[in-house]
Structure 1
Amino acid sequence: MQQNGIQNSGWTMPAEWVTHAATWMVWPHNKALWESGWRVTLPQVQEDFARVANAIARFEPVKLVVDPSAVASAKALCGPNIELIELAVNDSWCRDSGPSFVCHPQQGLAGVSWRFNSWGGKSAHDLDESLARRALNHLGLECFGTALSNEGGAIHVDGEGTLITTESVLLNPNRNPGVTKAEIEEIFTRLLGVKKTIWLPGDPDYVTGDMTDGHVDGVCAFARPGVLLVDATHDQQSVYAEVARENRRALELATDAQGRKFELIELYEATDAVDTEAEVFCASYTNFYIANGAVIMPAYGIDADKVAAEVLAQAFPGREVVPVRINHLAHGGGGVHCITQQQPAWPVRG
């Protein structure tokens, strides 16, 4: 697999919990996309996005990419302390189309632009495929390209050399046909400073209908090195139950880059919130986002929200857990983590 990325060593992707300079998001504007079969209206989705952006803005700066056609709605719903950056876009999943930021002890901050093909060509991406590069240009940062088709939601790192991903995404023929695990691991080592890649099955039979084909940020999330919040379901008869069990089994057998076995903390899905008539619905509480001093948690207005908040509060002592209602956003198949992308502060700290 021919690459045109970083040629030198020393670049690493920090963990999500290091201090951020900002959070990046993209404002939803594509009415046809959101209202074509997801049982929501664009204004409803925009209200959810605004709630997330305004919640994060309490703790750190938010840089909101806005298609020129949608500036008015963003200004109306987002607080004055949120920076609006006008760039043409197709969609609104910044975790996937935005840059993955990397740091170097001497050279500072830069970013990786993965080859974004809209989760295997599932929607238009002629604008979003260049969003990472344009965002980095806006910041005046170097952009490292790669031929690897990947999305930010497909990887989690612990900042100590461990990366977790899923086979159902990165080995999918709709992303990287013919590419081997070894080739992908070499790219992660070179671009992100990864020492060990852990492969989970993901959603190999696509039983959930998840448009991403099984992103890891719907499966688990680091609380700190060696400790993972793991998605679980009370509905053991559901099609997802076996998917969750297989992913957990893989984590139980794994060790991280430092040789540690993982401590696994179950975080049960918001099953009661699921719209059973919806094409997709993200009910995963593991799709939270770590901001400066806070954990922004997906919430649905159900009793399970309180339970999830208590689990997260125990996992993140010293951080405020902030539940944010995302019932309409969830109809697009994503949650809080899917629409956010952290920009680490430089020098890296925290």
Structure 2
Amino acid sequence: MTFRQPPEWAPHEAVWIGFPSHSDLWEDDLEPARAEVAAFALAVHAEGRGEEVRLVAADPDSARAAAARAPFATIVQEPFGDIWLRDTGPLLVADSGGRLAARSFRFNGWGGKYELEGDDSVGLRLASTIGTDADRFDWILEGGAIDVDGTGLGVTTEQCLLNPNRNPGMSREEIEARLRSDLGIERLLWLGEGLLNDHTDGHVDNLARFVAEGVIALPVPDGDDDPNAEVYRDARARAEAFGLEIADIPSPGRVLRDGEIIPASYMNFYIGNAAVVVPLYGAANDEAAVAAVQALFPDRKAVGFRADHVLTGGGSFHCISQQVPRV
């Protein structure tokens, strides 16, 4: 039987969410980022109507802080380098008979940029907390680099998966074969570049997300000064040529922090059982983005929360979470 990642909108048993734990990494953003993570976790929990939230903290002090901010959550203490569990956590797959399995891949700090102790093994350790021994595959893959619709269809970017700082010497065809054998991705849409100044080298979960079988959500540029306008247009052309239905999400446009363009994206939303949580940035399109996501998920409540301080670490709500499917 083929094991595949269920789509994110399929039912979840729980979700792991990374809790900011290292003051030397987060500095003045530590407490504000913790507040943003707790708000995200509460929205996903949805007063028990959503899914079990498992906040993952790296040390005893951080575990106590997580419990204080989120008394509704289960606290999991496991050492890690940082909170980006979409990339370092296990990828959970299921077969048609309802058997669950875990996949773990090598991790090299997004191409050697941020190699932190614990990140390369936290996926194996989290899998063991749900009674699953993860299969370890000897090539580098981050969960945020791919997205799937559950039918064997996936999407990624050339900038990330073909980057020589990940798997030098592996061809496009070899990567496609690995994704087919390891995750059941039989058809793969290759997009080109990711967002400007994204240190992940173009993770697709900032650019394109499946929202139903064969339906992919893509950003619409916010005027001529949108720094990612050409990236969005190229992605749309490739998705159309691939034969996918496209759902439009506004772009936040040009978002600056300390005078620099940041990779702000509404696409980094998390699809929970009861809520879809959209990161916001104080941009003009914040409300329109939440409304657009709501229209795609009428059986869930779309909500938006500021993610400014989480973004200082390099990502947003989808990046810090990894769902546990209910099978």
TM-score, normalised to structure 2's length? 0.93
- 1:33 paired with 2:16, answer no
Give 1:303 shift.
4.3
Residues 1-350 of structure 1: pairs in structure 2 closer than 5 A:
9-35=1-27, 41-58=29-46, 59-68=50-59, 69-78=61-70, 80-106=71-97, 108-203=99-194, 208-254=196-242, 261-271=243-253, 274-277=255-258, 281-346=262-327
Contact 1:282-1:331 within 8 A present in 2 as well = no
Q: Partners of 2:51 and 2:98 in 1: how far apart?
A: 24
Q: Partners of 1:140 and 1:64 in 2: how far apart?
A: 18
Give the letter for the 1:95 counterpart: R
Give 1:158 shift.
0.4
Give 1:107 shift.
6.8
Q: Deviations over 1:117-176 (max 9, x none)?
A: 111111133311001100011111131111221111100000011010111111111101
Q: Partners of 1:10 and 1:309 in 2: how far apart?
A: 35
Give 1:106 shift.
4.2
Q: Partners of 1:236 and 1:146 in 2: how far apart?
A: 43
SS in 2 for 1:41: helix
Match of 1:5 in 2: none
Give 1:41 shift.
1.8
241-250 vs 165-174, which moves further: 241-250
Q: Partners of 1:120 and 1:18 in 2: how far apart?
A: 31
Inter-CA distance 89–76: structure 2 relative to 1 (3 Å threshold): same
TM-score, normalised to structure 1's length? 0.87
Inter-CA distance 330–280: structure 2 relative to 1 (3 Å threshold): farther
- Please give the root-mean-square deviation of Cα atoms over the aligned residues, in Å: 1.8
115-124 vs 231-240, which moves further: 231-240
Match of 1:3 in 2: none
Q: Deviations over 1:45-80 (max 9, x none)?
A: 1111111111111111011111114122212211x2
Match of 1:4 in 2: none
Q: Partners of 1:33 and 1:82 in 2: how far apart?
A: 24
Give the letter for the 1:33 counterpart: L
Give 1:195 shift.
1.4
Give the letter for the 1:165 counterpart: T
Give 1:279 shift.
5.5
Give 1:324 shift.
1.7
Inter-CA distance 211–33: structure 2 relative to 1 (3 Å threshold): same
- Runs of 4+ in structure 1 deviating by more than 4 angstroms, as ranges, are none
SS in 2 for 1:342: strand
Give 1:239 shift.
3.8
Contact 1:185-1:197 within 8 A present in 2 as well = yes
Q: Partners of 1:84 and 1:52 in 2: how far apart?
A: 15
322-331 vs 219-228, which moves further: 322-331
Q: Deviations over 1:251-282 (max 9, x none)?
A: 1211xxxxxx212122122236x234265634
Give 1:233 shift.
2.4
Q: Partners of 1:248 and 1:34 in 2: how far apart?
A: 35
Please list every run of 5 or more consecutive structure 2 residues that lacks an aligned counterpart in the other structure.
none
Contact 1:63-1:82 within 8 A present in 2 as well = yes
Q: Partners of 1:104 and 1:247 in 2: how far apart?
A: 30
Contact 1:281-1:332 within 8 A present in 2 as well = no
Give me the identity figure in percent.
37
26-35 vs 136-145, which moves further: 26-35
227-236 vs 83-92, which moves further: 227-236
Q: Partners of 1:289 and 1:282 in 2: how far apart?
A: 17
Contact 1:51-1:325 within 8 A present in 2 as well = no
Q: Deviations over 1:296-347 (max 9, x none)?
A: 111234542211111111111221112122121122231211111111001x
SS in 2 for 1:129: coil
Q: Partners of 2:166 and 2:283 in 1: how far apart?
A: 36
Q: Partners of 1:102 and 1:62 in 2: how far apart?
A: 19
Give the letter for the 1:117 counterpart: N
